Structure 1
Amino acid sequence: IPGAEIDRQFEVIENNSNAPKLVITKHEQNAAFMAQAVGRLTGNAGVVLVTCGPGASNLATGILTAQTENDPVVAIAGQVQRQDLYRRSHQSTPTVLLFNGITNFTTEVQDAVNLSEVIANAFDIASAAPKGASFISLPQDVDDSPVSSQALEKVENISAGPASPEQTKFLPGKIRQAKLPVILVGQRGSDEKTVKALHDFLHATKLPVVETKQSAGVIDRSLVEQSFFGRVGLFANQTGDQLLKASDLVIALGYDAVEYEPRVRNKNNKLPIATIDSIHAQIDAHYNPKIQLVGDMPVTIYLLAKQLNNYSLSQESNTLLN
């Protein structure tokens, strides 16, 4: 959404055929949600550009949502010129303080020379695990300043390696021992590469799967009859909830506690849990995984599949599922 402090940005975008596509919205919150949708659907950070004051503060709900749901977003907001930052001037707002607690990265550009590196870091941090939001405050006089430094080349995403070999070998043994192992797929397990690896894994192992609301649609039609057992519900009364209660080993794939509170389904903290994720689990009184496979999720899943060659659910498991 245009505004006086960032008009120069819009002029450059509008008149440059190589610039990103410009979409004008009627409200900053809508723009933030649209950028979040881009981040979730493509895996690349969506970008939102707004003016200062209420233009920036209107972003807060959308940016907090992207941060909470691990969707990569880079927000750039105009700011009054630096000499007015400490004054009670028109639309002067301490946006760094506002966004510092709800993003992975927040900063204010104080020198145009640093602009390219600030933007590079914002995109890099928003796109790295755990994905989330970055916020850049751009004072008007910095935006108007000539830039003598060269733009940095695109920062390539860093690929993590698989989980530790010891844990990757340990989990298959636990799966073979379990009477009813169940996979709980969360938001971080719903990206294209992880879903492809999961589908191949399920075609081989035929393990049952429960989705959170944020990972809805991970299981496609080719696997519905074999592996899909619904989604968890708010009141723990859905088929997926009942299956988790009956399980003696829950394998949480890319699951985040914000999606489905552990205390709802693990009140006594007796449920054996293993995680496969790109980040460490948040431990609490109802969620204390005994095994954590932290690393590149698709690669880790493929390694697990090799360890579970010729695995099949027991007759007892199939009886419970049917």
Structure 2
Amino acid sequence: MQGTISISFTENYKLILNIKVGVDMKTDGKKLGKQTVKLENPPKIISAYSIVGPKEGDGPLRECFDQILNDDTCGKDSFEKAESEMMFTAITEALSRAKLKETDIDYLFAGDLLNQIISSSFAAREFSIPFFGLYGACSTMSESLSLASIIMDAGCAKYVVAATSSHFSSAERQFRFPLEYGSQRCGTCQWTVTGSGAMVLGHEGNFPEVTYITTGKVKDYGQKDPNNMGAAMVPAAVDTLVSHFKDTGRKPSDYDIIATGDLGKVGKELADKLIQEYGYDIRANHMDCGEAIFNGQLQKTDAGGSGCGCSAVVFTGYLYKKLMRKEIKSVLLVSTGALMSPTSSLQGETIPGIAHAVAIEMK
């Protein structure tokens, strides 16, 4: 049935979204619909590594992470250098687990939150690997995994690394206030995760496969509060999820876990409610990495975690291991990002959002 649905959603922000429904699924080779790619030669995630800071190591997922830092400076003289060191460590250890050398790797896809993605670039200079530097805000883990998988599926590489990182202290003073300022936090605020995750992709072995990629569109529905990024990212997350289900013909129940990146507690509740307006119910298997990584009340992290490292370490530390143990068979990872900058916020700009979905399945 062809038609147009108009949805008004005004809780915490005004949202008016028009979508066409009932459009026949269009298939053109690997391309499904307008946003999704079905990988014909699905790459396998042959190793993964997660490293987190002390606060993340005190959270509910403490047993899942591969390395927990006692010192979030990593022995460096700045938090920015510490973040780059975390990424270097995550990539090095992921290569070691895959029993590969840096010379075996065809490409490195990586990104972070800092200006000119210096954490990734400075980590990449320590390796002799062709490098693609990426910025998708907190969606960067799914972005790097998406592009790494596409280049593998195209037959352009034998091994590829996808990585990302964030650090509370480096991001806090870039996007918000000096650390010494001691600003008051609100209930919708999220705590940038200190952590880095890296994955090595190959073609051989019994490992989880990347099967579908749904690339998100930038969505902006007028949210201006930089202290409520969960609400700003919800429209992009829902749009990407709906597009994925429409393009592939799949249902939420086809996945054991649908893991959004870092909507946090506030954003997760909004997403669960909004997507029902499109005829999908994800409440039974929806987890949010930002909500899961901290105990909000005990750790005083308000609405939960955020940052590039959030979905990176929750996937590499928690979800990947569940796939490897065959406790679950399928994950839809939907990392979400708020595409803001300190300059745009000070100029009164709204906050655009983006979300990319990657289907990962253990055959």
TM-score, normalised with respect to structure 1: 0.27
Which entry has the higher C-alpha Rg, 1 or 2? 1
Greater percentage in helix = 1
| More RCO (CA 8 Å, sep 6+) | 2
TM-score, normalised with respect to structure 2: 0.24
